[in-house]
Amino acid sequence: MSSVLLERDYDGIVWFTINRPEKRNAINDEVMDALQDTIRLVEENDKVKVLVITGAGDQAFCSGGDLSEFHHLHTKEEAYRMLSKMGTILYSLLTLSKPTVALLNGMAVGGGCELATACDFRYAKQGIKAGFIQGTLGITTGWGGASMLFEKLPYAYALDLLLRAERVPIEKMVEYGWVHALLTEENRKEQCRKLLSPYLAQSVPVLRSYKQYAVKKWKTDEFRTKFFAEIEQCAVLWESEEHEEAVRTFLNRK
């Protein structure tokens, strides 16, 4: 079974679905590579207007990196190779010249929240929770999530979410400005399409122009340096005993 489902609609939407519901749609190398290829496709194809990223099933949007596949990474150098690979992909998602949406079909935690933060808009199913829970594993955001969050939310809200390291009711995430629309249980895809319909009515050159104005501030050397310094700091913490123990506990619980 493929780890990713890819669809392209008649109206210019590319739907990227992480298809690992048995793993709570955790990200592995196959998902990373597919996402990288899809971002490139969306960037280069003039018939594509919007990229929507979601997860398979009803339980999870994305639970971050798949620790069962990455538990063999112990040193700072080993961790940095994985973290910087996904960080580079999320940086390209953040600076994509087309609108992007995270459609949260279920809970989002850890790196799943970083993936969602890289998108322009976040639409979420009612009643779910989301949280930057990296602190409970003895690490910090490792894919550039904190750098992006401080850019997109008011300072106190962003810091609160990072420091509390908890799963937060999605209604609170709406209040903080992280989620832009709540969706009901039924036909979430159609609800998403309806929210996007005004954007889809615009031409690709118009969409590109506005996005390029928006992301210009993130294409600076200053922001890139900050973004990848965050990833390096996570790699330092990755080889700590606290993280090793947290991963052992997580895998034994599984």
Domains in the chain: ranges and CATH: 4-200 (3.90.226.10)
Q: What is the largest CA-CA distance in the chain?
A: 53
pLDDT > 70: what percent of the chain? 100
* pLDDT at 253 exceeding the cut of 90: no
* pLDDT at 252 exceeding the cut of 90: no
**Dist CA 248 CA 137 (whole Å):** 10
Six token digits for residue 44:
């280069």
Residue whose tokens read 């594509």:
48
Entry pTM: 0.97
- Per DSSP, 14 falls in state E
Mean pLDDT for the chain overall: 95
Average pLDDT of span 208-236: 97
Write the CA distances from 202 to 23, 190, 244, integer angstroms: 37, 19, 49
Six token digits for residue 56:
């398979």
Other C-beta atoms lying within 10 Å of the C-beta of residue 180: 15
Beta carbons within 8 Å of 121's beta carbon, 6+ residues apart: 99, 100, 101, 102, 180, 181, 195
* pLDDT at 71 exceeding the cut of 80: no
Beta strands in the chain, from DSSP E residues, in sequence order? 4-8, 13-18, 50-55, 60-62, 100-104, 107-109, 121-125, 129-131, 168-169, 181-183
* pLDDT at 248 exceeding the cut of 90: no
Residue whose tokens read 């009901």:
184
pLDDT for 254 equals 57
237's enclosing H/E stretch is helix 221-238
Could you give the angle at which helices 145-152 and 221-238 cross, rounded to 10 degrees? 130
